[in-house]
Copies of this chain bind each other. A is one copy, B any other.
Amino acid sequence: MAESKPVLIDGKWRPARNAGSFAPADPAARQPTGEIYPVSSLQEVEEAVEAAARAAEELLGVPPEDRARFLELFAARIEARRAEIVEMACAETGLPKKPRLDEVELPRTTGQLRQAAEAVRQRSWTLPTIDTRSGIRSMYGPLGGGVVVFGPNNFPLAFNSVSGGDFAAAVAAGNPVIGKANSSHPGTTRLLAEEACSALAEAGLPKAAVQLLYRTDHQVGQRLVSHSLIGATGYTGSRQAGLVLKAAADRAGKPIYLELSSINPVVILPGALRERGAEIAGEFTASCLLGAGQFCTNPGIVLLLRGAQSEAFVELVKTKFQEAPVGTLLSEGVQRSLEQSVAGLQRAGAELLVGGRAGGGTGCSFQNTLLRVSGSRFLAEPEKLQQEAFGNSSLLVVAEDADQAAQICRALEGNLTGALYTARNNEDEALYNRLTSILRYKVGRLLNDKMPTGVAISPAMNHGGPYPATGHPGFTAVGIPASIRRFAMLQCFDNVRPERLPPELRDKNPGQVWRLVDGTWTQADVLPKS
């Protein structure tokens, strides 16, 4: 049997203080990848947390330029090792090398790291606020302890705990990161951490600024996120595991940002269906089955109004779901969970239109699945019928009328997104207004005439939303600079001597930092008072 891979603690790759081990699998081949990874003990977690706390203090003295260089060197190193990383990610996740991993996700990952570097250099994410009258100045700064990042299974690169969006944001804010690899792709995470480690040395950053653990049991994980020396946690993953961590972090008063579950309602109004039902059926099918539906913004529920146009739409979608190829799922676990979720929706009263059984594709897979339920049935079991079925499945809800559609919107939990399709003329406008006055509060991102998959990296993006989509509706996980401020604290300086202020708050602007000076956003220096 292969030896268990080492963990990365305090700058050293070393054998784990082993509390067990696990063997990742190739979901397409349905067999182990051949590597063995360790489960970390409580002692190891303590060591990592303490090393991160020391690194946090050291990072306070590291100029932004060096942190920016680290992020850029890291991006370049990922590109240099591209083939090996893509190979490993493909073996561990079953995601296609091209275009997905090599041409979409890897460039997105390095692009995010470079955007974070730019933000570090530019410093405007700190929102410096200067009140010259009172002598009070404030800005966002690092948390003073490690940020723990739990990466999800569905983006082995772009949301990876040691290279993804949370990682980039936490480092950009000036924090060390303790990565907790997703157990389904530890090898990919190891390769990325190796490059991060080398980039740290090259840029002269503290060696404990990036650490990596592969797995812990629940109790050790709870200790990790609630440790007094930890700054905050970023978690993307299953609702069940996330809530265990949330409870622990909340009890300790430690911020935890979670992306838990979202069914991303898509409302298609009658005018839109009459006008371009077939086109929308195509868009919906493509969005729902993309990557075997394994996206947090997958359209998991479609709201229609009773009528001939909706029936025609349902028939069209059925055919498309039957005809579309079935993708490979990320793991046996995802397949099992999808089976259970679809069965749960049926038990709650949803009728199976298409699919509903395991298999149909290469390796781990599940037939493309479409379910249907009436609006009244949905309203009788709103909680059960809103359970996320992560994968290539969606539930069509057909409301009796506009009033019932509004009630259904009101019964929705928090979601990352909500999309509405309406006619190009104004015939759907009254209903659009009525439903969005409700939906607007339920979703982080409201879309028009567009499916929710595809989360653009934009400073205006909100990849967040009310619980249970996330743990707090005021933060986004995608979109620099806002995503950086999740891993920051507000620091105020009152009567602090000018030479002791952080550079961002001194009279002289340290670069082209946007600062709110006496109510005006400006990149200028603060002028001496006359």
| Chain A residues engaging chain B, CB cutoff 8 angstroms | 56-57, 60-61, 129-131, 133-134, 136-138, 140-145, 246-247, 250-255, 414, 417, 432, 436-438, 440-442, 444-450, 456, 458-462, 464-468, 471-476, 482, 485-486, 488-497, 500, 514, 516, 519-522
Contact = CB atoms under 8 A, between A and B. Distances in A.
A476 B139 CA distance: 12
Q: Give 4 closest A-B pairs by Cβ, nearest first.
A: A144-B441, A253-B467, A462-B492, A521-B521
Given A247-B250, A441-B145, A468-B253, A474 B459 contact: no
Contacts of A446: 491-494, 496
B488 A474 contact: yes
A460 B129 contact: yes
A475 B255 CA distance: 12
Contacts of A445: 492-494
A144 B442 contact: yes
B456 A134 contact: yes
Nearest to A420: B496
Interface centre among A138, A468, A472, by most chain B C-beta atoms within 10 angstroms, is A138
A444 B136 CA distance: 12
Given A441-B143, A494-B445, A138 B473 contact: no
Interface centre among A460, A466, A489, by most chain B C-beta atoms within 10 angstroms, is A460
Contact of A251 (B247, B414, B448, B464): B247
Contacts of A497: 448
A520 B522 CA distance: 9
A462 B56 contact: no
Contacts of A495: 447-450
Contacts of A145: 441
Contacts of A442: 144
Contacts of A473: 143, 255, 489-490
A438 B229 CA distance: 12
Contact of A458 (B136, B246, B450, B482): B136
A500 B521 CA distance: 28
B251 A472 contact: no
26 contacts: A57-B437, A129-B459, A129-B460, A131-B458, A131-B459, A134-B460, A138-B461, A143-B473, A144-B442, A246-B250, A253-B468, A255-B474, A444-B489, A446-B492, A447-B494, A447-B495, A448-B496, A449-B495, A456-B494, A459-B516, A459-B519, A473-B489, A474-B488, A476-B490, A514-B520, A514-B521
A254 B142 CA distance: 25
Contacts of A142: 441
A98 B474 CA distance: 41
Nearest to A456: B134
A464 B490 contact: yes
Contacts of A494: 417, 445-448, 450, 456
Contacts of A464: 490
A262 B518 CA distance: 29
Contacts of A60: 437, 440
B459 A492 contact: no
Contacts of A516: 459
A440 B436 CA distance: 43
A57 B493 CA distance: 39
Nearest to A260: B253
Contacts of A440: 60, 141, 144, 491
Nearest to A505: B460
A417 B138 CA distance: 13
B496 A475 contact: no
Given A253-B471, A473-B490, A489-B473, A482 B129 contact: yes
A461 B143 contact: no
Contacts of A130: 460
A460 B247 contact: no
A143 B199 CA distance: 42
A473 B141 CA distance: 10
Contact of A140 (B136, B246, B247, B474): B474
